[in-house]
Structure 1
Amino acid sequence: MGLISLLTSNPLAFVIIAAALVLSLAFHEFAHAWTADRLGDPTPRRYGRVTLNPLKHLDPFGTLLMLLVGFGFAKPVPINPNNLGRWGTLWVSAAGPLSNLLIALVCALLLKFGSHSSFVVTVLLTVLSINVVLAVFNLIPIPLLDGSRILGALVPSLGRSLTQFEMQPYSFLIVMAFIYLFGRQISGLIGTVQDWVLGFVGA
């Protein structure tokens, strides 16, 4: 179910989820860009991506999908692997999911040690959940996701094949089919990680 359905049924929930999702996606892409920039690749800065401004990171089609079907994506950060090398590329790829996991842990700590109103608790839980979803989902080692680029950096010969696959016009459809077929397993994994994050800090 897309976010758009919440506009009439629960407008406040729509605002909370939409804001948390947009800001979390922006932080995810910023982490990729900032890491690449720090490791010596000027490409993200050249494209204006070393910023937390969501407008620089949102993809129009990906945003529309989020509104309509509840699943979407941001614009990938352009990098030049030749400037980063094998391990630099790995760290850039991992930076996005790790940034989302960090946000989730911060939210869990705030839930544990803070005294909050029910509204703030709802916001923190929403942000935590969204960032766990982004972290776990992006670490799946299938093309177009960060996990495949991490795997490609660890196994260069496989990485070349994955890169070639990503360039094919049908790659997005195949990835979507994978998500549809294994959606239950992915949801179960996300739930396990979310429980771990909350349990880790005793929230």
Structure 2
Amino acid sequence: MLEFSLVQKVIIWAIPVLFAITLHEVAHGWVALRLGDRTAQMMGRLTLNPIKHVDPIGTLLVPGILLLMGGFIFGWAKPVPVSYQNLRKPKTDMAWVALAGPMANLVMATIWALVAKIGLSLVQSGVGLGEAMMFMGVAGVLINAMLMMLNLLPLPPLDGGRILVSMLPGPVGWQVSRLEPYGFFILLGLLYFGILGMILWPLISGLLSVLATIFSLPPQIFSIL
């Protein structure tokens, strides 16, 4: 792992983090719109303007502190509002709305892997811009892989939890959904005791290996940050 100054870290991570969080939320709203709910559209949340989605704590403070600590980086934006009752098939459609966010992160991770590949090629050709592209591409892959796997955990209010509730029979799904007010605290507990990393890192590493294979990237490239 290379050593970077605080300014360098911010330059490398800022754009990937903002895109990862913003497009994740827009994807939820866009799929909800296609399935009959115009709430996000009417509230001006179907926009790529990050200011509309930034949560001061989840988008700026938490990722910033974790970046300084050099540990597991994650964050969140202001959730895009979805009116369950407006969906054409509320129970089924809610699963698709929830899945849209992690799938957006998967697409972005793939695009950033391509950026990293181009940057690496430029570095090998002696082009100065290549190093910046490579570092930012790697950061983009890492943050999107982390957000994708984190959000797929079957814990309300994470997307995976909403998907699980939608798939379970009504009474059972309702019981699971009652965990939602405590989900964030459960997540913090898992993070504090190191359990979250034990669950997520094998999944994240698997995705990184797949992307490295697809784009013919050296596996160790994702260890430079």
Alpha-carbon offset, residue 110 of structure 1: 4.3
TM-score (norm 2): 0.78
Task: Assess if the C-alpha contact under 8 Å between 1:143 and 1:175 holds in 2.
Answer: no
- Give the total of aligned pairs: 194
1:149–1:159 contact (8 Å) kept in structure 2 = no
Greater Rg over alpha carbons, structure: 2
Sort the Cα spacing of 1:156 and 1:77 in 2 relative to 1 into closer, same or farther, 3 A.
Answer: farther
Structure 2 letter corresponding to 1:144? P
Give the C-alpha shift of residue 41 in structure 1: 0.2
**TM-score normalised over the length of structure 1:** 0.85
Q: Which residue of structure 2 aligns with residue 118 of structure 1? A: 131
Name which of structure 1's ranges 79-88 and 20-29 shifts more when overlaid on structure 2: 79-88
Structure 1 CA distance, aligned partners of 2:137 and 2:75? 22
* Cα offset, 1:135, TM superposition: 0.9
In the alignment, which of 18, 21, 31 is matched to residue 22 of structure 1?
18
Percent of aligned pairs sharing the same letter:
36
Residue 195 of structure 1 corresponds to: 209
Partner of 2:113: 108
Structure 2: which 5+ runs fail to align?
67-72, 123-129, 218-225
Q: Which of 96, 104, 107 is the matching residue for 2:101?
A: 96
Q: Per-residue displacement from partner, 1:99-138 (whole Å, max 9, x unpaired)?
A: 1101111222344467431221111111111111111111
Q: Could you list the per-position Cα deviations for residues 16-57 of structure 1 after superposition, in whole angstroms to 9, with x for gaps in the alignment? A: 212210121001101111111121101111222111111111
Q: Which amino acid aligns with 2:37?
A: D
> Secondary structure, in 3 states, of the residue corresponding to 2:47?
coil
**CA root-mean-square deviation:** 2.0
Runs of 4+ in 1 over 4 A off after TM superposition: 110-114
Q: Distance in 2 between matches of 1:73 and 1:161?
A: 25
Amino acid at match of 1:65: V
